Amino acid sequence: MNIVVLVKQVPDTYSERKLADSDHTLDRESADAVLDEINERAVEEALQLQATHGGEVTVVSVGPDRATDAIRKALSMGADKAVHVSDEALHGSDAIATAKVLAKAVSTIEGVDLVLAGNEATDGRVGAVPAMVAELLGLPALTHARKVEVDGTAVKVERETDEGVLHLSAALPAVISVNEKINEPRYPSFKGIMAAKKKPVTTLTVADLGVDTAELGIAGSWTSVLESAPKPPRSAGQRVEDEGDGGTKVAEYLVGQKLI
């Protein structure tokens, strides 16, 4: 079974994330970049499925040059090869533009049975790119999976959201997004890290994919940011030590604020 995993490099949530004043895009210099944690879980799921069903695991990423680090991490976990779409024209692309490029990139890989992704990226929190890729490829989208089972040409998923748990099924090929509780991703071994250095990474431009640059970047995207402003940080208010009356003090504060 051939599996593609969509992986995204995101600013580390531990570092400060900023928007550039000039064009409201992510200031990539200001934050450390990491492979989004949820994508490690998607890679883990792909490797577990590969262990049972065989086939190849290819990671696909759309992002600037330094996304190579995220790709290497996925390869060092055990993925076989990678496709990296990197192009100046992509700067500032929104979710739809990104999904279009991802769908084209997936189409360059032959005999794909399954596309795995995270359910939501920690930066944009769009939570829709996997479904949009499925829409573009005409494939079923089984999203927010906490459990995945492949049986011959069919796939079964337990989808967990606020609406409860849904037991889903669809025919392969399909797109699946996984949630945070699906598995515990493995740590790359030393051997894995060394091996990753030799694994093939195909770098493509948008021209290679035949995507019209008029549909990409800040100018070509489907949405535009008109203004952005950092929100003034919250400041600390009152603080008291509990001297046996801490609960009463909170109650008095809440009464003062007309909250109770």
Ligand X SMILES: Cc1cc2nc3c(=O)[nH]c(=O)nc-3n(C[C@H](O)[C@H](O)[C@H](O)COP(=O)(O)OP(=O)(O)OC[C@H]3O[C@@H](n4cnc5c(N)ncnc54)[C@H](O)[C@@H]3O)c2cc1C
Ligand Y SMILES: Nc1ncnc2c1ncn2[C@@H]1O[C@H](COP(=O)(O)O)[C@@H](O)[C@H]1O
Q: Which of residues 102-131 bind ligand Y (CB under 6 A)?
A: 102, 117-118, 120-121, 124-130
Is 186 an interacting residue with respect to another protein (CB under 8 A)?
no
User: Which tokens sit at 154?
Assistant: 């069919």
Cis peptide before 130 (omega within 30 of 0): no
- Residues binding ligand Y: what is the number (CB under 6 A)? 24
- Contacts of 82 by beta carbon, 8 Å cutoff, 6+ apart: 58, 59, 60, 61, 71, 74, 75, 199, 200, 201, 202
Point out which span in 55-63, 74-82, 116-124, 198-206 binds another protein (CB under 8 A): 116-124
List the interface residues with ligand Y, window 41-80 (CB under 6 A).
Answer: 42, 61-63
User: DSSP state, 30?
Assistant: T
Is 214 an interacting residue with respect to another protein (CB under 8 A)?
no
Select the binding partner of residue 52 from another protein, ligand X, ligand Y, none (C-beta < 5 to 8 A, by kind).
Answer: none
Pairwise CA distance, residues 252 & 247, whole Å:
9
Q: Please state the closest distance from residue 166 (CB atom) to another protein, in A.
A: 5
Question: b/e map of 31-46 (b: 16 or more CB within 10 Å)?
Answer: bebbbbebbbbbbbbb
Select the binding partner of residue 40 from ligand X, another protein, ligand Y, none (C-beta < 5 to 8 A, by kind).
Answer: none
Pairwise CA distance, residues 97 & 1, whole Å:
28
Is 107 an interacting residue with respect to another protein (CB under 8 A)?
no
List the interface residues with another protein, window 4-63 (CB under 8 A).
Answer: 13-14, 17, 19, 24, 37-38
| Interface contacts to ligand X, rule CB under 6 A | 13, 37, 122
- With beta carbons less than 8 A apart as the criterion, state whether 60 and 6 touch: yes
- Cα 143 to Cα 127, 132, 133, 165: the distances in Å are 10, 11, 12, 12
Nearer to ligand X, 35 or 142 (CB): 35
Is 126 an interacting residue with respect to another protein (CB under 8 A)?
yes
Helix 37-53 to helix 68-77 angle, to the nearest 10 degrees?
Answer: 40
List the interface residues with another protein, window 146-175 (CB under 8 A).
Answer: 159-171, 174
Q: Which residues bind ligand Y (CB under 6 A)?
A: 6-8, 36, 38-39, 42, 61-63, 95, 98, 102, 117-118, 120-121, 124-130
